[in-house]
Amino acid sequence: MFIGEEPIHINAEKGSIAPLVLMPGDPLRAKYIAENFLTDAKEVCNLRNMLGFTGTYKGVRVTVIGSGMGMPSMSIYSWELFHYFNVQKIIRIGTCGAVNPNVKVPELILANSAFSESNFAYTYNDYKEHITYPSIDLNKTISEKAEELNYKLHVGDITTMDVFGPYIDYDRVLNRIPKELNIIGEEMEAFALFHIAKSFNKEASCLLTVVDSKFSDVVLSGEMREKSLNDMITLGLESIIK
């Protein structure tokens, strides 16, 4: 295995990335968080336009950096953060589709497991199971903070897809998932994040905002989308610093 002394995809100086990280998929959302939620935020990386910023939230150093879309991209950035920058905790803050009628647009989901049909984990380190798990302690903190903030939070299983759900008949995929799982949302990154974190004995969780649902024709307005995403960002920040 080739592991160089320097990261290939994150061009940040050593020490410039905090041990606590929020990861939206979109690097421009990382920029938005830095500009609107962090104090004294500075850009610390920008290779391939995957922007990352470090600042403080309530006096605690936090980094926000994009992950890109899909498990391969998430695995690259989370691996480098854990390995080269000694990151201790990552909370993915992203968007998802609801696949349970009780979960509405634009409510929040906290994943207590991620199921995937992908061979990602088998390729990574011969892990043959199709389910990965977040940090129990970090999830507990997020749940407690959601209650403090009076945010409605659905806690349940999600599925991480290799394809963008709305572009396929994902009922076909959902029908293959073990029935004992309570799948409430589908997205594209969490399975890989949880597995990479476990391999480093680090903590990771996944918070999601529901932006579409197979049971609804609701389309978020710009104002609704910003409000719901801001709630998720606030919950992520409040949780990561605890």
Closest CA to 72 of 195, 242, 159, 185: 195
Nearest to 44 by CA among 58, 63, 27, 29: 63
Q: Which residue has tokens 């919950």?
A: 235
Burial status of residue 38 (CB atoms within 10 A of its CB: 0-12, 13-18, 19 or more): buried
Directed axis angle between helix 222-240 and helix 27-37, to 10°?
70
Quick check: is 231 catalytic? Answer: no
Residue 208, CA atoms < 13 Å, CB-side half-sphere: 31
Cβ(119)–Cβ(107) below 8 Å:
no
Residue tagged active-site, from 40, 126, 137, 212: 212
Active site residues: 212
